[in-house]
Amino acid sequence: MIALSDCQYLTPEQYLQLEAESPTKHEYIDGEVFAMAGTTDTHNTISLNLAVLLRNHLRGTSCSVYFADIKARLDEKNCFYYPDLLVTCETQDRETPTYKRFPKLIVEVLSDSTEAFDRGDKFNDYQTLASLEEYILVNTKHQRLEIFRRTKGNIWTFQSYGADAQNIAIQSIDLTVAIADIYEDVEIIESK
């Protein structure tokens, strides 16, 4: 992310107006606006594979999957982020066409420029969403997914799935998916 240094503090409403008119996507963190970096074909292929798998699984339910251009609004942190994928099942989220407040699942596909932020401050901020049940980080250099799950005691647990894993359980939406399907058409040279 690149900070827009010539911008002064923006309210959420000013940010939403700016974003509606901008050809570049920006994330919003407590009044500051940050331009987002582009992605790679590997990132896009993984994101699209997951979006299709999630959409096919959720078809006919009250849940919706959003891909790339829908923001997650974090009221408690005064932030808007663009997750790679999010799933919401809340009817209240139908009222806001450009952002969602009640995601139950968020997926970030990692890149060199965002990995530290996705693992650190962004995940910390996402944890303020009471609706969020799972946070998934998808590696683009190795066939590896890291899943963080919120327990009933509001404790986050961690589970890692590597290339040797056959299936991955996405518990928040009751989906089991093959790791090979997530990485379909993606060439990753596994280091030894």
CATH of the domain at 51: 3.90.1570.10
How confident is the chain (192 residues) per 10-residue block, as mean pLDDT? 59 95 94 90 96 98 94 97 97 96 97 91 97 97 96 95 93 97 86 52
Say if residues 31 and 78 touch (Cβ distance below 8 Å). yes
Question: What pTM does this model have?
Answer: 0.93
> Based on the domain organization, do 1 and 73 belong to the same domain?
no
**Other residues' Cβ atoms within 10 Å of the Cβ of residue 47:** 21
Whole-number Å distance between alpha carbons of 62 and 49 = 21
Q: What is the structure's pLDDT at 8?
A: 78
Q: What is the structure's pLDDT at 7?
A: 54
What pLDDT digit, counting tens, does each position of 139-179 carry?
Answer: 999 999 999 999 999 999 999 999 899 999 999 999 999 99
> Based on the domain organization, do 46 and 4 belong to the same domain?
no
> Based on the domain organization, do 18 and 79 belong to the same domain?
no
**What rounded mean pLDDT belongs to the chain?**
93
Helix (H, G, I), strand (E, B) or coil at 137: strand
> Based on the domain organization, do 90 and 124 belong to the same domain?
yes
Query: Residue 9's domain spans which residues?
Result: 1-36
Say if residues 88 and 63 touch (Cβ distance below 8 Å). yes
Whole-number Å distance between alpha carbons of 138 and 55 = 18
The total number of structural domains in the chain stands at 2
Q: What is the structure's pLDDT at 105?
A: 98
What pLDDT digit, counting tens, does each position of 174-189 carry?
Answer: 999 999 999 999 988 6
**DSSP notation for 75-131:** GGGTEEE--SEEEE--GGGGG-SSEES-EEEEEEE--TTTHHHHHTHHHHHHTT-TT
Q: What is the structure's pLDDT at 190?
A: 57
> Based on the domain organization, do 60 and 15 belong to the same domain?
no
Q: What is the structure's pLDDT at 37?
A: 83
For 170, left (φ over 0), alpha (ψ -120 to 50), or beta? Answer: beta
- Cα of 10 vs its chain's centroid, Å: 23
> Based on the domain organization, do 23 and 47 belong to the same domain?
no
CB neighbour class for 91 (10 Å; exposed up to 12, middle 13-18, buried from 19) = exposed
Say if residues 83 and 106 touch (Cβ distance below 8 Å). yes
Q: What is the structure's pLDDT at 13?
A: 96
Helix (H, G, I), strand (E, B) or coil at 33: strand
